[in-house]
Amino acid sequence: MYPDEFPRNAWYVAARSAEIEQGRMLPRFLLGDPVLLYRTQDGTPVAMVDRCVHRQMPLSLGRLRGDNVECGYHGLTYTPTGACVRIPGSTRVSDKVRVQTFPLVEGDGLVWIWMGDPDQARPAQIPDHHWYTADGWSTAAGTLHMDARAQLLNENLLDLSHLSFLHPESIGSPEIAELPITTTWDDHTVTVRREMAGVSCPPFFTRVTGIDSPIDRQQIAEFFAPAFHITTTTVKPSGDPDDSRMCRQKTMHAITPETRTTTHYFWSVSRDYAVGDDSVTDYTLSAVAGVFEQDIAACEAIEHIIAAWEPSYPLELNIKVDAGPLRSRRILEKLLAAEGAAAGARPQDRFTDTATRAAARAWTERATILSG
C-alpha cells in the first residue's frame, strides 16, 4: 500500500527562504490546507491559513498593510499572530476573532512549518542541513512539483538501485546495479548505503569533477521521517591513496505533501569541490533538475496506475533493494497511528482529493501571478 496520508505533528519545509520575498504574498497549499506565507517588515516569515474567517476569501487575494494582512473582500485585517484588529463597519473586535497561524522556523536556506498540535513543536527535531549555506560549500537549489503522492518520492530516494535504469545517462552506470546495499534504521530515520569501488565514472560526475578514470564511489541515502532526505555522495579516482581528490556532495530533498496526491519537492545540491564556480552551479541546476524530473515522471506514471485501481491494485513484489523503502513505510505508519488515535478527525481526513487538487492548482497559479 502507498499511503496517501501524512503525519501532521512534524516539521515540513514550507518554502525555500528565497521563495518568500519581502512585500509579496506567497499562497501555497501545504498538507491539504491553503497557507499564506509572507515576511514582516523585519524579515520574519509568517504562515497563516489562507482563508478569511469572515467569508472564506483567500487572504492572498488581499493586501499587505505593513506587517498586517487586509482581506481583499471586506477588509478584515489580521496581525502576524493571526489576531483580527479591524472589522470595517463594526466598532469592536472580539479577541476571539483570529485566523490560524502556524509555527515557522527559518534556517540554512529553508523555512520549516509545523501544522499539527503546536504544543508538540520542537525546533530541535529539524534535521541538520547546514551545507546549504555553509562556508566551503557551493549550492544549487530549486523547487519542483509532482502530481503524485509524496510517499512515492520518499521511496524513490531510499532506493539506490534505480540509478542504473532511470538515470543511465547522468548519475547511473550499469555495473553498480548488482552491488550490495546495506540498510539501517531507527524510529525516525532510515539509512541506505552502497560502496562502489573501481566503477566507471557516470557522465554527470565526469563533467563536474573532471574525473574520467574509474572511481571509488560511496552513496548514502538518509531519510528523516516523514519528509526529508540527505543523500551524500563521495567520488574519488579509484585507488587514490589518500582522500585529497575526494569530491563530496550533499543533496537535500524536502518532500512536502501539497494534497493527498500532489507534492512539493524542494531540493538543493551542495558540493565541496569547484566551490564558487558558477558554471558548475549552473550545470548542476539544469542537470539535477533533469534527473529529478525523471523521478517525478516515474512517480506520476505510477500514481496514475494506483489512482485507477485504488484501493485494490495488485500486490506488489518486494525485492532486496526494497528494504529501505519498506522501512520508511513502517515508520510512517507508526507516526500516523500515533496521532491517529483520533483517525478520521485529523484535518486532512476530510478533504475531497479532486476538489482539493483543483484548489491547490488555482493557488499555485495565483502564486505565479503574484510573483509575476
The single residue among 66, 180, 241, 276 that binds its own copies, judged by CB under 8 A, is 180
Looking at the DSSP assignment, which residues form a beta bridge with residue 248?
A: 234
Please tell me whether residue 62 binds its own copies under the rule CB under 8 A: yes
Please tell me whether residue 352 binds its own copies under the rule CB under 8 A: yes
> Closest distance between its own copies and the C-beta of residue 155, in Å?
8
How many chain residues are in contact with its own copies, going by CB under 8 A? 63
> Closest distance between its own copies and the C-beta of residue 181, in Å?
7
> Closest distance between ligand FES and the C-beta of residue 349, in Å?
26
What does the alpha-carbon distance between residue 317 and residue 268 come to, in Å, rounded to a whole number? 32
User: Nine-digit cell at 364?
Assistant: 499555485
For the chain, what is the radius of gyration of the CA atoms?
A: 22
123: DSSP letter: G
Which residues in this chain contact ligand FES in the complex, by CB under 6 A?
Answer: 52, 54-55, 57, 71, 73-76
What does the alpha-carbon distance between residue 304 and residue 147 come to, in Å, rounded to a whole number? 9
What does the alpha-carbon distance between residue 198 and residue 332 come to, in Å, rounded to a whole number? 36
> Closest distance between its own copies and the C-beta of residue 262, in Å?
13
Kind plus residue range of the DSSP H or E element containing 216? strand 215-224
Q: Among its own copies, ligand FES, none, what does residue 159 contact (CB within 5–8 Å per kind)? A: its own copies
Please tell me whether residue 342 binds its own copies under the rule CB under 8 A: no
Looking at the DSSP assignment, which residues form a beta bridge with residue 105?
A: 112
What does the alpha-carbon distance between residue 55 and residue 45 come to, in Å, rounded to a whole number? 25
User: Which residue's CB is nearer to its own copies, number 177 or number 336?
Assistant: 177
> Closest distance between ligand FES and the C-beta of residue 79, in Å?
15
Q: Are 258 and 360 in contact, with CB atoms under 8 Å apart?
A: yes
Return phi, psi of residue 6, to 5°: -155, 145
Query: Helices 323-339 and 150-157 sit at what angle, rounded to 10 degrees?
Result: 140
> Closest distance between ligand FES and the C-beta of residue 302, in Å?
8
3-state secondary structure of 283: helix
Question: Going along 17-97, which residue ranges are E strands?
Answer: 26-30, 33-39, 45-49, 63-65, 68-70, 77-78, 84-86
Contact pattern from residue 70 through residue 99 relative to its own copies, giving x for each residue in contact according to CB under 8 A and a dash for the rest: xxxxxxx----------xxxx------x--
> Closest distance between its own copies and the C-beta of residue 149, in Å?
12
User: Which residue's CB is nearer to its own copies, number 287 or number 299?
Assistant: 299
The single residue among 1, 18, 301, 343 that binds its own copies, judged by CB under 8 A, is 301
What does the alpha-carbon distance between residue 60 and residue 82 come to, in Å, rounded to a whole number? 14
The single residue among 24, 40, 54, 103 that binds its own copies, judged by CB under 8 A, is 54
Q: Among its own copies, ligand FES, none, what does residue 92 contact (CB within 5–8 Å per kind)? A: none
What does the alpha-carbon distance between residue 196 and residue 207 come to, in Å, rounded to a whole number? 19
Please tell me whether residue 24 binds its own copies under the rule CB under 8 A: no
Binding interface with its own copies (CB under 8 A): 32, 34, 51, 53-58, 61-62, 70-76, 87-90, 97, 155, 159, 161-162, 164-166, 177-178, 180-181, 297-298, 300-302, 304-310, 312-314, 316-317, 319-321, 350-352, 354-356, 358-359, 362
